Structure 1
């Protein structure tokens, strides 16, 4: 049966008022000394972020104060290379930091994803002058959002244009799924420029407050509710040439932009799984009743419940191991980028994403199976773990991860080079 889908369903929701912009940082962020310091700092913040996570989700309360604390901690600087004054942590550390925050609040775990993505594009394709400037902005406490995706069309052709006139460069177009743009000081924007009869893609770093930029908080997904993943409109927005970084050229040769982006997505899903697992443990220990046929006093002693927790724990441990392994492959490819090293990093990350996708959904669902009916009370907000996982795991289809992995091992076929692998 063929189902017709109205084109209006592919458009962004009705616009609401433009939100206030992020204020300029008053002080530079704290300095993260090394990988261990980054992970410890993330854990400290996660403990604080978890307290009101359900409330923020239920009321769609934008996490301005939490984001300011997140940036002030120094964690948004951790991939700035050491030669530019940053800690330059390993990819596995970046993933662990992301997972730790996502376990406490899935939205807060996702908001910096495109910040780190833009930093990787800058590291791979930016000039020395661009790197100095933008790394300096990040070390001063400024944050990047994104305006990459476009909807309302059946193809993946990008329609946001970069053009030039007598006054300089300008950007015109509309984007959606702009996670982090609402909170950003800069909005790295995927733009297309016509050059020698063909379209060439760039990443233009657009100041949040530039005339002609309109950000609309119209993201109404049932999960990841406060990521601010709504619309950005660009109307004759002026940008400097030094703010335009090559993008397409970075995929015409082997680079780690794709694997770095994907390991962050895997880490977000891993964090969602951890959060759901911990919530299930706590609820069953403190509130659940055992099934009558178990003939035990506590739900935590129900033998079939123990089996389920054991199974889920093993799956979660396997996902964690694959993410750590993928981090090592990404580090190796960053050190020595080549056809093989980048392909191996992409496949290792795809393997991790395949498992983190399934375990995040499984953990969010089994939480209710194991905790029982009382866990569904709306005021608890425990459904956010499954809603967040289901929403985020739709970023790109896991079935294509399995295809890429199988094709690599069976046919030695290198995976495609783009942001989804």
Structure 2
């Protein structure tokens, strides 16, 4: 399959993949166990961190960083060993996302979205589709992006008038994280009521993988948010992209209808809590990196305040070093404690998701046995984790300036990018609705009705 590296940005310059060429051979052997996979993610973060702030300012399309992820093997951490993957649980994949986000929030986000879209077929697909796409994505080390925003039916699917075995996607998507630098893109569209009146007024949705180099796919390269600037999350236009019915995930190519034993079960809705936990883990990685970066700056550069508030009545001399300042020590201690608690909650959610996928999967033939209650309880645990990490993260990434000083606001220091990255994505879906959702679960015992954001 042709690489999407042939697609050139019309707005931003592109980073050069050759700058990371040495890691193709250095990391040519996949890690053997969980501890080494975690170390590989930390190694990637160590490569990314030193120039993360400078790269963000340069704002180049991150083809080099995607190449680095490919060299690392992290793109196939979840893939079956029979196809050359790591066959690690989601709990390890989540930790890898978090670690990479410590080095660069944008690249951690790209890794997280890729893993979700690459795994989507295992949630939404039929057994034959799972075998086909999992093998292709894993064995060829493909990077997967997405043109998915089900909130808007802005990508319409019609029947191919000349070939009833195909459907055609037309329209656009406002957000397409990672798609412009991908090898495969997940298209999500709604069936046209005119072409498919039986689908109802809302139009059923279909997900399908398509090569990013398809001539009908073009990107605007117009991502210009305050944070996560290297995710290429701008818009895309889709024109007459033809897809075989056989590749409509979870649909019967003969009857042109959803497979009830695939899409009509609670398991198929796991896509949403799974990606919500992707978000939560890279939020956590960004927050941890912010506190670490601030601490390093405080040790090296922050000056103690030379005055005390009590005047002549004061019996204690000003601190000689910033690391002796009471309020600085108190702030770091508080944030560290809160991050430890947040991490424990996120890790608990990570394990819960892994346990679900281990117990209910296509290999065991038990996907249909997952109950709505089980799905709902895990979803509420993830919602709680997202609430806590969002609150702690926004507080920490803002407070780092209180403990570093005015000189730390210099552009070259780059402490502001942590807050900007976190603030940008925590608006993805209102956390207020997560609070209400968890509240109904606590007070009324209600699990949430699955939606595109729950």
The alignment's TM-score, normalised by the length of structure 1, stands at: 0.89
Cα pair distance change 1:113/1:78, threshold 3 Å: same
Residues 144-193 of structure 1 deviation map (CA, whole Å, 9 limit, x = unaligned)? 1000127xxxxx34131122221432110110221100110111011112
User: What is the aligned partner in structure 2 of residue 361 from structure 1?
Assistant: 394
Superposition pairs of residues 11-410 of structure 1, within 5 angstroms: 16-17=10-11, 30-82=29-81, 85-139=84-138, 140-149=140-149, 156-165=151-160, 166-167=162-163, 168-194=166-192, 195=196, 196-198=198-200, 199-246=203-250, 252-255=264-267, 256-292=270-306, 293=308, 295-334=318-357, 335-336=359-360, 337-410=370-443
State the alpha-carbon separation in 2 of the partners of residues 42 and 284 from structure 1: 26
Contact 1:19 1:182 in 2 (8 A): no
CA distance in 1, matches of 2:217, 2:400: 42
| Cα distance in 1 between the residues matched to 2:12 and 2:403 | 42
User: Do the aligned partners of 1:170 and 1:239 also contact (CA within 8 Å) in 2?
Assistant: yes
**Which SS does the other structure have where 1:416 is aligned?**
coil
Contact map agreement 2:217 2:236 (CA 8 A) in 1 = yes
Q: Is the 8 A contact 1:269 1:357 kept in 2?
A: yes
- After TM superposition, where is structure 1 displaced by more than 6 Å over at least 4 residues in a row? 18-23, 25-29, 247-251
* Residue-by-residue CA offset, 1:318-377 (whole Å, 9 max, x unaligned): 111011000121123222422122111101111111111112211211111110100001
* SS class of match (1:188): strand
Q: CA deviation at 1:22?
A: 11
2:401 is paired with a residue whose SS is helix
Distance 2:181 2:132 in 1: 20
Deviation readout 1:225-259 (Å, 9 max, x if unpaired)? 11000111011112233332139876653122122
Which sections of structure 1, spanning at least 5 residues, go unmatched? 1-14, 151-155
1:197–1:182 Cα change, 3 Å = closer
Instruction: Answer whether contact 2:79 2:134 (CA < 8 A) is retained.
Output: yes
CA displacement 1:366-395 (0-9 Å, x = unmatched): 111110100001122211011001001111
TM-score, with structure 2 as normaliser:
0.83
Separation in 2, partners of 1:110, 1:96: 12
Retained in 2: the 8 A contact 1:19–1:215? no
The alignment of Structure 1 onto Structure 2 pairs a total of residues equal to 401
| 1:105 positional shift | 0.4
Contact persistence 1:39–1:93 (CA under 8 A): yes
What 5-or-longer segments of structure 2 have no aligned partner? 1-8, 252-257, 309-316, 361-369
Q: Greater CA radius of gyration, 1 or 2? A: 2
Hey, what's the Cα distance between the residues in 2 that align with 1:17 and 1:105? 22
CA-based RMSD: 2.5
Secondary structure of 1:418 counterpart: coil
User: Which fold has the larger relative contact order, with Cα–Cα distance below 8 Å and residues 6 or more apart in sequence?
Assistant: 1
Change (3 A) 1:31 1:54: same
